[in-house]
Amino acid sequence: MKKIIIYFLISLTFSLLTTSKQESISNYSIQLIEYEDNQLFEIKKEAKDEIVLWIKQNIRFNEYSLKNQDLINNLIIYYIEKIDNARHKEKVDWLIVKVKKELNNISSIEEEENMDKFTLYDRLINNTFIGRVFKILANNYISLLKGLLITLALAFIAVLVGSILGIIIALMRISTNKIINRSARVYIEIIRGIPLLLQLVTIYLLFNSFLGAFWAVATALFLNSSAYVAEIIRSGIQAIDKGQSEAARSLGMSYRNTMYKVILPQAVKNILPALGNEFVAVIKETSLAATFYIGDIMTVKNNITSITYLALEPFIIVGSIYLLITYGLSKVISKFEKRLVS
């Protein structure tokens, strides 16, 4: 739009130039012959070119504040006429200086008007870092809250389904059957050895068409989480002293009974706090899902960044939200831990 306006203006001035040139040729040709001053004609032509160039370079036509456009147009018309009528080189030079001055005045008036429009409050908001942070926060808190909800939902699904899968894989991992044991181990090693982002992209490409973006991302996250949960559970179970299971077995309990009544109740104490930490970790990992614009809090941050061209301010906001959530969660988890111990 702006480009079109600028071109329009330039073409307008050019067309003005050409028409006035023709006029000048017809009206003042006699005078030109009289003075034998072809030089002056050239000077006038150059002067007009100079003005057009100067306008192009120095006056910023704002698409959204074109109040002064008519004023500038009239000025240009007025001065170009004057230049055509000028009879001395000095006069032409003086006119150029004058037109530049007047045009400058107009643009500075415009700037002053703009400055007047902003109150002290506005200036504080738009020109300081903290002000911008609060402005973004005030304008986007609804979408930020929505994003937070999606992030938490995603983390919850990932940990819940991941835990169920993780338990199965952990049981496979501690089983004595070689094939089952090996396959569980391979699964864990593959998932833990590949960066989450690569897993996200691969699973998104595979499942996106029939699951939709959200569930494709959720699938990737819970598959990833399941491997870590499996390791947490396995280590929790294996951390129980071997004597416990030996004692239970020697009392005549079956393997199943030993597991359910002796080992697992003790293992839960080891497992639960670590599981809570896994939940905190998954909340942070969901930020990678913003690659696919599923609407989580990082997606909201990306939207704000792309529209306002501000990189740091949205980061501060989103970072502090993540910090608040994870800090609150780890507080809750530590309380649980204390209760488990007592």
Write out the residues near another protein by the rule CB under 8 A.
Answer: 1-3, 56-58, 60, 62-64, 114, 132, 135-136, 138-140, 143, 146, 201, 204-205, 208-209, 213, 291-293, 295, 300, 302-312
Write down the least CB distance from residue 132 to another protein, Å: 7
Contacts of 140 by beta carbon, 8 Å cutoff, 6+ apart: 300, 304
- Choice between 97 and 311, CB closer to another protein: 311
From first CA to last CA, the distance across the chain in angstroms is 71
Write down the least CB distance from residue 60 to another protein, Å: 7
- Choice between 3 and 178, CB closer to another protein: 3
Burial bucket for residue 226 (CB in 10 Å: 0-12, 13-18, 19+): buried
Write down the least CB distance from residue 63 to another protein, Å: 7
Instruction: Confirm if 217 and 200 have CB atoms less than 8 A apart.
Output: yes
Name the H helices within the chain. 2-35, 38-58, 69-85, 89-117, 120-127, 129-173, 178-193, 196-211, 213-238, 242-250, 255-257, 264-285, 297-308, 312-341
Chain centroid to CA 275: how far?
31
- Choice between 32 and 201, CB closer to another protein: 201
Write down the least CB distance from residue 130 to another protein, Å: 14
Dist CA 270 CA 264 (whole Å): 10
Write down the least CB distance from residue 302 to another protein, Å: 6
- Choice between 153 and 240, CB closer to another protein: 153
- Choice between 42 and 111, CB closer to another protein: 111
- Choice between 275 and 300, CB closer to another protein: 300
Write down the least CB distance from residue 309 to another protein, Å: 5
